[in-house]
Structure 1
């Protein structure tokens, strides 16, 4: 029996002609023209129906703290790190929970149904992690969270960093992270990557490492990630985030490296909003673009996702959790504008991050979970061109957010888009 029937929707994989989509039991039951009626009917009126977005890289522990205890005057990565170190001692479980939940509702209103967030565990009390573990359970099935144990100040550069990582693993994080370029020596950076992947194999966890997020073209820890992924038998379970140093690699080394990354089955996340403003700060002119070699990685068959990263925090004072805006920036910033290239952009928000998240059937296809976005524009190109508000969001076949006048109603309540304070 059909629960929801969406009529006259356009699905990118099926071409320009509208069709009907029947949803039953939380899954897509049928797709085709003129399906028999049943359940609640929604007329898409020729609008695009796409898979929901998967946000593969953000920092919910720090979200909505911009300006605390003071603004980042320089706008640099390093001042942001210093500010965060001042903010951390004042964190409470309730403050982290409330800020993160608000940001997640913003994300849900934009069509995000799955989120991976890095959580700083360089804190002996693990306040933020405990808050987000609770939030993960409270939102499960509506907006699913993966938590990454993230050693913001280093596993070995921070006192008891390894012990805190072990505690975070025991508490139940989904992924194990690292930041090798922030360790005090290259040897410690290599050691940290080896430790993270060994722990992931032992405990059956995914890996997501902040890697080579620097302008230093001698920062080359992703090669260690690729080698360890192969040696530990973790192909398909390891994500390398940022990789901004690769914009400075020479062509011969980059070609070799990308080949090994593909062989290892690494996933990659690029974060154009933050890195476009944080990188290149040591350059004069010309100033380098702060992102990985995205086109070359895509052309080599690597699975690449586009992340939002920060939302109003010490590193990036803007943002509202809409992945489409990150893709819009990436389109210009990485020159992914050719007719044969633009389809990558929506995929970098949907099926590509879904693969890294561990979702096997994230698509508008018969049998797939009904995690969907209904748009008032007919194509992905028009969505990227106009950045429109979403018309409706479905999770497991349930309408969880819909446009209401000039705003959105999320989980039955009018969405509050004002920042805290």
Structure 2
């Protein structure tokens, strides 16, 4: 009697085996053979490339979902263009409905306060997030919604103790003060599915028990079909709808805490059996993290450097020696490259978002988007990492290029980065899969989102052309 499967993918090409059939059952890959003699629903895949589903190893889900519902100021550096974009967005809202905007670039008007924002939009609360995600700018109606003093350290105040409208790293406090329903993750999840993304790591530094509950409900309701790993604080509990990830260490070079405080947090992570993931945008933040690790007793497999925006040649060996993984964003060369060319000195540009030199130095690499602060299209990341060209097609760090199929491997790593081995299409693996229109050669020469034909999570289609 023939075996019955939930789905048989006929005539696929895999990197590991070449041409074959792949059978799925109970959310897993049940069989891979040259020709599977069985019955059940079938799909002829036309000889196209079957890959494990991609994982975005660094994303901010709620902020990205909110950005999809916000006015996008990215790329605007003239004040009149920003005002026009904001007022166009406001005209589509009901009277007095709050307006949210993202992607503000300080080249437009330095860092404006509430008085300047009142000149832009005065008839409703306005909240503007800067391009880095570290700063919120509020107009007077938005400040009025915050209530009364005392103000936490994240709220900048003037000489009279009144808020200036600038709030640094205050996302959690803002959510508590303003309340409101979090954005639906369903539209974002649909876009991720179209890109072949079957798993995401939310890297929110403030994630704790309440955020974990919110994400669990999103998974249970079907808003977010993608597999989920959550970073966060020491208060992050184990969960059933997600995997608890590393303890997130977030600090800014302009206001670094004493090393012993961060070292103590690393020790607490070890007591919880967790790795740590450190926000390292500047060379100073990277050196600070390496020092904190040494004070805390050293690194462990799975410890991560998030961003690795600026890494000097001398630091590569130190990173490799500690076995750290750099979770980088290849698409930033495209998304932000023109800005880097304008604002970063020639001799420092060689340290920007290294790829090839890190790999040559024995450093583990994983891929993430940092969305909403960068594009969450991993295929753009593959092209950007291979060409090292900006949006205006100018070269930036060409020596750091890696081929698209190598960058693909950075998105095929499992959540547990300590393994170091990319996931494969193999028996007993989870049936989280992406069907790519073409061969490996096509992927190398034309890695584009439009080539994703089918995305499966637990063997169930979540996107199909």
| TM-score class normalised by the smaller sequence | 0.7 to 0.9
Find the aligned partners of 1:107 and 1:336 in 2 and give their Cα distance: 30
* Contact 2:409–2:422 (Cα < 8 Å) also in 1: no
Residue 5 (structure 1) aligned with residue 8 (structure 2)? yes
CA pair 389-337 structure 1, distance change in 2 beyond 3 A: farther
Task: Please tell me whether residue 266 in structure 1 is matched to residue 351 in structure 2.
Answer: no
Q: Would you say the 8 A contact 1:180–1:192 is kept in 2?
A: no
Q: TM-score, normalised by structure 2?
A: 0.66
* Residues 9 and 47, structure 1, Cα contact 8 Å, conserved in 2: yes
Task: Encode CA deviations 1:342-390: one digit per residue, 9 max, x unaligned.
Answer: 4311101113x54428798831012212111112222264366140242
Q: Residues 259, 174 of structure 1: CA spacing in aligned structure 2 closer, same or farther, 3 A cutoff?
A: closer
Cα separation, 2, equivalents of 1:9 and 1:310: 32
Equivalences for 1:227-238 in 2 at 5 Å?
227=294, 231=297, 235-238=300-303
Structure 1 residue 220 corresponds to structure 2 residue 291: no
Deviates more, 1:1-10 or 1:76-85: 76-85
Count of residue pairs the alignment pairs up: 361
Q: 1:195 to 1:183 in 2, by over 3 A?
A: farther
Under a length normalisation based on structure 1, what TM-score does the superposition of the two structures give?
0.72
Q: Whose Rg is larger?
A: 2
Higher relative contact order (CA 8 A, sep 6+): 1
Q: CA RMSD in A?
A: 3.7
Structure number with the higher strand fraction is 2
Of 47-56 and 377-386, the range deviating more from structure 2: 377-386
User: Secondary structure of the residue that 1:392 maps to in structure 2?
Assistant: strand
Q: Does 1:96 align with 2:182?
A: yes
Asked if the contact 1:271/1:306 (under 8 Å) is kept, the reply is yes
| 8 Å Cα contact 1:361/1:369 also seen in 2 | no
Q: Shift in Å at residue 201 of structure 1?
A: 1.0
Determine whether 1:205 maps to 2:274: yes
Structure 2: which 5+ residue stretches go unaligned? 72-98, 108-129, 138-166, 389-396
The answer to whether the aligner puts 1:74 opposite 2:105 as a matched pair is yes
Q: For the structure 1 residues 137 and 355, does the alpha-carbon distance in structure 2 shift closer, same or farther, using more than 3 Å as the test?
A: same
Q: What pairs with 1:38-49 in structure 2 (closer than 5 Å)?
A: 38-49=39-50
Per the alignment, residue 23 of structure 1 pairs with 24
Q: How do 1:147-162 and structure 2 match up within 5 A? A: 147-149=230-232
CA deviations over 1:177-208 (Å, ceiling 9, x no partner): 112444614xx263354133212112223322
Residues 242 and 268 of structure 1 are in contact (CA less than 8 Å); yes or no, is this contact kept in structure 2?
yes
Specify which of 374, 378, 386 is matched with residue 331 of structure 1.
386
Distance of 1:119 and 1:79 partners within structure 2: 14
Give yes or no for the alignment of 1:356 onto 2:417: yes
Post-superposition offset of 1:307: 0.8
2:165 is the alignment partner of 1:134: no
1:258–1:74 CA distance, 2 compared to 1 (3 A): same
2:57–2:201 CA contact under 8 A, matched in 1: yes
Q: Which residue of 2 aligns with 1:33?
A: 34
* Alpha-carbon offset, residue 105 of structure 1: 2.5
Secondary structure of residue in 2 paired with 1:292: coil
Provide closer, same or farther for how the CA distance between residues 389 and 12 of structure 1 changes in structure 2, counting only shifts above 3 A.
same
Q: Which residue of 2 aligns with 1:83?
A: 136
Q: Paired residue for 1:196?
A: 265
Among 218, 235, 248, the alignment partner of 1:177 is: 248
Question: 1:258, 1:300 within 8 Å by CA — same for their partners in 2?
Answer: no
Matched-pair contact (CA < 8 Å) for 2:454–2:461? yes
Q: Residues 342 and 137 (structure 1 numbering): CA distance in 2 closer, same or farther, change over 3 Å? A: same
Query: What per-residue deviation string (whole Å, max 9, x for no partner) do you get for residues 299-326 of structure 1?
Result: 3443211111113xxx45xx3x322222
| Distance (whole Å) between structure 1 residues aligned to residue 399 and residue 454 of structure 2 | 28
